[in-house]
Structure 1
């Protein structure tokens, strides 16, 4: 930015292009960070789903078996059934499977933003339309956490 003697501010000839590139680079860095964060969150919610769901299923089976074995085993079976119900209720309350899927969706959307920004940064000349397109992709990535929309990217993209 240049300031002439009259105090007005003028942009250097390459200033808008430099600012545009800097904003796209910032968006690229944000996308990389958010993709990694969504990946870690998806792994966390996957573990939470297993930690809550597996004991619930196992305890329910043991409680049913113990309850049918003898009359003396009904109280321990009831305690096992209550514990199992607690695990199942916790899993339902936390919605860990839905959160895992939402974070996988977000991870894929952020990877899309990261890829698009890399392609744009490879070009010598950038336009405000390039930034607008990338910001729309960013909004889609932020909305991906809601989990209601279609998977970003090609229609054949599946959670994984």
Structure 2
């Protein structure tokens, strides 16, 4: 049976009852941070995979094209092997173009950075703001909502612009 992988950034909302709203805000920020770290890691892994695909198809294609040209020019008896090598090189080049590994790698790298930025901002709130009960009562809810909105935009699989990644104040 195939194992279902959860989408990046997904976490299960628990039915935990918290003693007060401040604890709920604390738990919400922890959940955003945890889910964001997981999503950043997931996208980083996929960026590495697409990078390998890009080089695994593109590099042999370029090398084989050069070999085919050299073989074809070296002698008339090498035309058939040169043609076969050229066809293989063309097939690899077409596959590399079709799969567009470079674009996928760039996308996943940007998404990983965006998720990591969200996780970092949530972590900063946990370190600097959450210990203050006054902040939790006054600004905590707005900060959690801002983090949650950023997270929701990332589910649209679009990396936010630099000004959208700034932490909520």
Same fold (TM over 0.5): yes
TM class by smaller structure: 0.7 to 0.9
Tell me how far apart the structure 1 counterparts of residues 165 and 143 of structure 2 sit (CA, whole Å): 18
In structure 2, the partner of 1:112 is 117
- 5 Å matches for 1:41-80? 41-80=46-85
TM-score (norm 2): 0.75
Greater radius of gyration (CA): 1
Structure 1 gap ranges (5+) = 1-10, 155-160
Per-residue deviation, 1:141? 3.2
User: How far has the Cα of 1:22 moved from its partner?
Assistant: 0.9
Shift in Å at residue 150 of structure 1? 4.5
For residues 122 and 116 of structure 2, the distance between their equivalents in structure 1, rounded to whole angstroms, comes to 10
Q: CA deviation at 1:65?
A: 1.1
Distance verdict in 2 for CA 1:112–1:55, change over 3 Å = same
Q: CA RMSD in A?
A: 2.2
The 4+ residue runs of structure 1 with deviation greater than 2 A are 124-127, 139-143, 149-154
Partners of 2:141 and 2:100 lie apart in 1 by 40
Distance 1:39 1:134, change over 3 A: same
- Kindly indicate whether the alpha-carbon contact (under 8 Å) linking 2:37 and 2:119 is maintained by their aligned counterparts in 1: yes
Deviation, 1:153, is 5.2
Give structure 2 stretches of 5+ with no counterpart. 1-16
Structure 1: how far apart are the matches of 2:45 and 2:76? 47
C-alpha separation in 1, matches of 2:119 and 2:75 = 61
CA deviation after TM superposition for structure 1 residue 106, in Å = 0.6
Q: 8 Å contact 1:28–1:117 — kept in the other structure? A: yes
